[in-house]
Amino acid sequence: MIGKTISHYHITSQLGEGGMGVVYEAEDVNLGRRVALKFLSPSMANDANLLQRFQREARAASSLNHPNICTIHGIEQDEDQHFIIMELLDGESLADRIRRGPIDIDSVLSLGVQIVDALESAHSKGIVHRDLKPANIFVTSRGQAKILDFGLAKIDRQKTDATSNVPTAIADELTSAGATMGTVAYMSPEQARGEVTDTRTDLFSVGTVLYQIATGVLPFQGETSAMVFDAILNRESVPVTQINPSLPVELSRIIGQALEKDRDLRYQSATDLKTALKRLKRDLDSGRHSGETFSIHSTRAPQAIHEHSIAVLYFENLSGMKEDEYLRDGITEDITTELSKIKRVKTFSRAMVLGYRDKPVTAGQVGNELGASYVLTGSLRRAGNRLRINAQLVDTTTDFPLWSERYDREMADVFEVQDEIASKIAAALRITLSPQEQQALAAKPTENLQAYDLYLRGRNYARRVGRQDMQVALQMYENAVALDEGFSLAHAGLANVCAQFYYHYERKPQWIERAISATQKASSNGNDAPEIKLAEAWVDFAEGRYENAVDKMRPALARDPDLDGGYYLLGRALFEAGRYQEIADLMEDALAHAGENYNTTIPIHNALGALGKKDALMNFTHREIAVFEEHLKKVPEDARVRVLLASDYAMQGRLDDAKRELDMAILLRPDDTMILYNAACCFCAMNNAKDAMNALKKSWEGGNRHSAWARQDPDLAILHGDPEFERLYPPADTASA
């Protein structure tokens, strides 16, 4: 075959040979690209069942558009030769990689997440692979997993995407009960018994693959196929930690659950298994255990204590004044930031400690749950221009205070207090600060505490995104820079609000001009703080330069993962660029650093919907509801959260709850075009076209006239054809979204 031209493909070399045929590298002479051609052997091409299986592989895989599934370009026949045209991959099969020995834990988790994410996508379309094994998983030279060979795929007629080209049902002996398909060592017990299979079959096979790549051996072994069958059906695998004691106990638990013989006790979805793997990966990367995002649960498993790791708990607000909470939060977070400047000190993100805020917990409890060696607790009371701060560093293993101090100062001294707390903690831990660390601790965002106070207030309002809230935030930032023209972070906040106001409310050039001017002032002294990069990225985003916004946000988040609103903007930019899978991939990291910025959930929600991951979206909706409900306990006047909560309630069929939150959101912000637009989408989800059209019309009259956006929004689909909708949003209108 080498050197021949079949159809318009010139074959250059052989890549491999399997049970059904041979794979060659070729050049598509029409398109000038390199591809892989998988030929069905002539003898098998005469077998109707095998030919059907071969064709089904092409149809099943070609319906899946996922970065971890090998792309199928087409299936062709040249005379009596049947072949599939596939993406040409550079790397090696996972089977070849395993032959060199066990794989490091980082690669095990990275590959595992990629494989399960691909299965999640396939399962959402009703496709079960049924023959997952290392030989059918390719690892590219860049470490990207690619699932191959859907020849044994089973298609569920109930889940098949109506827009795909996958047959609605295939009912031959390859998919019916009684047939034992797949490679023996990686089969699930139900496959071994010849029973009907489902998505959980693939999860058992994933567990087997993870076991093998982590330890170098198979969980179920035997000298004959019959002995392997017996092991799969009747024997328990040895825990991976007994074979390789360096592996995390949590990995052993995850693999053990994936290998449950009773499929009802296994992970019930690829989403659940992926979440477990991603959480373990994140915890190992950060050296801490995060538990459930946005909340703290007492069921958390105890974690190892890490030397010089400090959990800074939110200080108690002794003034009792709600308006002082933003100051309490800001000062607490700033102390965390100061401590993070000390190389030998390890701190925990806002989201990690948020669940402990205003709750009675002991230092030992926090240390046990987070793996912190010390906890910094404290309180503050503001009275006029005076500020009293009490701080205490407690050893979590003994509950004994290592250091404590009380500061009774003018508000203007708050930065010196933060600097002193960080320095005293370093001294208590016997850490000698380098000159660079001393310089970093001495740096202040502004010399004017009134300006700083206004900046914190502005940031608090800007998170709510609503028109009125944005206007208040704008005023706060303007007053802050009026007091201190050199306050870079306040200029960045001003730019942030102006760019968002342009994007959401008024497409007038002066908003972008003000945003650009503010970013220039923010960076005029050479300051390139992540907050400034965030503002510059918002300008890019507002003007439609989504890839530029992504390029700015990634390094900014690498420097400061807790950057307020950072993951939200990155997610928005990736979504507008159509890079939905990347949003899903960074979901756990984004939520781990979200703190109180609930906006982080929005692009994740939208991406899961765009990817068609219905189960994952429904699971995520439960998490969102918990976040939104908790936020409303603190900020009941936040109309944006209410309309988002209403949409989630509607998804769950809780229509009375959805209507209640919608009515309250509109009552709070009757003229806010964003609230009205989102309300229209929610009314549509409730199949209430009349109220949806009324809300949409009010949004239009208020200035929200993004026709292309409304035309493309699937939530508004039921309004298409309505005379009023067609008048407001004509098909030919291509206004910018």
In terms of residue numbers, what domain contains 322? 306-442
- H or E segment at 253? helix 249-258
- Catalytic-role residue among 117, 131, 334, 715: 131
Q: Which residue has the tokens 């300006």?
A: 451
Question: Looking at 277-371, which runs of residues are DSSP E strands?
Answer: 306-312, 316-317, 346-347
- Residue where a domain terminates, one of 442, 465, 481: 442
Q: Which residue reads 């159809």 in tokens?
A: 7
Q: Is-contact 341 441, C-beta < 8 A? A: yes
Find all residues with CB under 8 Å of 608, minimum gap 6, and list them.
584, 616, 617, 620
CB-count exposure of residue 32 (10 Å: 0-12, 13-18, 19+): exposed
Tokens, residue 724: 């009023």
Angstrom distances, CA of residue 703 to CA of 289, 504, 540, 580: 46, 10, 22, 29
Report the CATH number that the domain containing residue 97 is assigned in CATH: 1.10.510.10
Residue range 630-643: average pLDDT? 86
Q: Same domain, yes or no, for 108 and 248? A: yes
Is pLDDT of 206 > 60? yes
pLDDT band at 581 (very low <50, low <70, confident <90, very high): very high
More confident residue, 218 or 53: 218
DSSP β-ladder status, 346-347 and 306-312: parallel
So what's the pLDDT on residue 90? 85
**Given this model, what pLDDT does residue 60 score?**
67
Whether residue 64 is found in the same domain as residue 154: no
Please report, as a single letter, which amino acid is at residue 391. A
Q: Is residue 455 part of a domain?
A: no
Task: Give the strand order in the sheet containing 81-87.
Answer: 5-6, 9-17, 21-28, 33-40, 81-87, 72-78
- Mean pLDDT lowest for which of 286-290, 653-657, 673-677? 286-290
Rounded to 5°, the CA angle 264-269-270 comes to 135
Query: How many domains does the structure of the chain reveal?
Result: 4
249 shares a domain with 102:
yes
Q: What is the pLDDT of residue 43?
A: 65
Q: Report DSSP state, residue 713.
A: -
Q: What is the pLDDT of residue 169?
A: 24
DSSP conformation class of 236: P
Report whether pLDDT(211) > 70. Answer: yes
Torsion of CA 143, 145, 146, 147, to 10 degrees: 160
Token representation of residue 199: 């998505």
Same domain, 263 and 338: no
DSSP symbols for 184-203 = GGG--HHHHTTPPP-HHHHH
What is the pairing mode between strands 81-87 and 72-78?
antiparallel
Are the CB atoms for 444 and 484 separated by under 8 Å? no
Max Cα distance, the chain (Å): 90
Cα 555 to Cα 518, 559, 580, 582: the distances in Å are 21, 6, 20, 16
- What pLDDT, on a 0 to 100 scale, did the predictor assign at position 708? 66
pTM, rounded to two decimals: 0.56
Question: How high is the pLDDT of residue 17?
Answer: 75
- Which residues pair with residue 206 across a beta bridge? none
The 3-class secondary structure across 436-475, one letter per residue, is HHHHHHHCCCCCCHHHHHHHHHHHHHHCCCCHHHHHHHHH
Q: Which spans in 39-194 are helix H?
A: 42-45, 48-62, 94-98, 105-124, 189-192
pLDDT of 306 higher than 90: no
* Average pLDDT of the residues in 220-225: 84
Q: Which of 519, 441, 425, 444 is nearest to 477 (CA)?
A: 519
- The encoded tokens of residue 300 equal 């958390």
Token pair in block for residue 461: 């309002």
Indicate the residue among 442, 468, 495 that finishes a domain.
442
Report which DSSP code applies to 323.
Answer: G
Residues 26 and 117 occupy one common structural domain: no
Closest by CA position to 251, among listed 283, 220, 298, 287: 283
> Does position 158 have pLDDT exceeding 70, yes or no?
no
pLDDT band at 642, cuts 50/70/90? very high
Surface-to-core class of residue 461, CB atoms within 10 Å of its CB (0-12 exposed, 13-18 middle, 19+ buried): buried
CATH number at residue 413: 3.40.50.10070
* Cβ neighbour number for residue 74 with a 10 Å cutoff: 11
Pairing relationship of beta strands 306-312 and 372-383 according to DSSP bridges: parallel
* Residue 77 sits in the same domain as residue 113: no
590 against 178, higher pLDDT: 590
**Sequence-ordered list of residues with C-beta below 8 angstroms from that of 519, at least 6 positions apart, any chain:** 491, 492, 495, 532, 535, 536, 539
In a domain, 599, yes or no: no
What is the reported pLDDT for 579? 92
For the record, the structure tokens of 469 come out as 């809230």
Count CB atoms within 10 A of the CB of residue 702. 18
Assigned domain for 176 exists: yes
Domain match, 75 and 105 both: no
Q: What letter would DSSP give residue 86? A: E
Tokens, residue 609: 């919907």
* Residue 236 covered by a domain: yes
Q: With 90 as the cut, is the pLDDT of residue 545 above it?
A: yes
Look at strands 9-17 and 21-28 and give their pairing: antiparallel
| Helix, strand, or coil (residue 447) | coil
Q: Is residue 418 one of the residues assigned to a domain? A: yes
656 phi, psi to nearest 5 deg: -65, -45
User: Which of the listed ranges 90-99, 206-215, 671-680 does the model predict with the highest average pLDDT?
Assistant: 206-215
Q: What is the DSSP letter of 75?
A: E
User: Both ends of the chain: CA-CA distance in Å?
Assistant: 52
If asked whether residues 204 and 319 sit together in one domain, one would say: no
Contact 681, 475 (CB under 8 A): no
Rg of the chain in Å (alpha carbons)? 29
Could you tell me which residue, 266 or 330, shows the higher pLDDT? 266
* Residue pLDDT, tens place only, 451-509: 888 898 898 889 888 888 899 999 999 999 999 999 999 999 999 999 999 998 888 99
Domain assignment of residue 536, yes or no? no
- Nearest Cα to Cα of residue 6 among 28, 31, 21, 22: 28
Among candidate residues 442, 457, 477, the one where a domain is terminated? 442
Average pLDDT over the chain, rounded to an integer: 83
Q: How far apart are CA 263 and CA 195, in angstroms?
A: 12
Kindly report which listed range (146-160, 501-515, 562-576) carries the lowest average pLDDT score: 146-160
356 falls within a domain:
yes
pLDDT tens digits for 30-69? 888 899 998 877 666 667 777 776 676 667 667 777 889 8
The sign of the torsion formed by the CA atoms of 629, 630, 632, 638 equals negative
State the DSSP string of 508-529: -HHHHHHHHHHHHHHTTTS---
pLDDT at 674: 87
pLDDT tops 90 at residue 633: no
Query: Which residues partner with 13 through β-bridges?
Result: 25
**Percent of residues in the chain assigned helix, strand, coil, to nearest 5:** 55, 15, 35
**732/629 same-domain check:** yes
Nearest of 677, 736, 672, 673 to residue 709 by alpha carbon: 736
- Residue 255 maps to a domain: yes
Phi first, then psi: give them for residue 138, nearest 5 degrees: -105, 145
Pairing of strands 33-40, 21-28: antiparallel
Query: For residue 88, what are the contacts with CB-CB under 8 A and spacing of at least 6?
Result: 25, 34, 35, 36
Which residues, 6+ apart, have CB-to-CB distance to 125 below 8 Å? 63, 64, 159, 160, 161, 164, 166, 612
Q: Does one domain contain both 124 and 270? A: yes
**Cβ neighbours for 245, distance < 8 A, ≥ 6 positions apart:** none
| Domain co-membership, 45 together with 105 | no
Is 543 a residue whose pLDDT tops 70? yes
Same domain, 313 and 433: yes
Answer yes or no: 540 catalytic. no
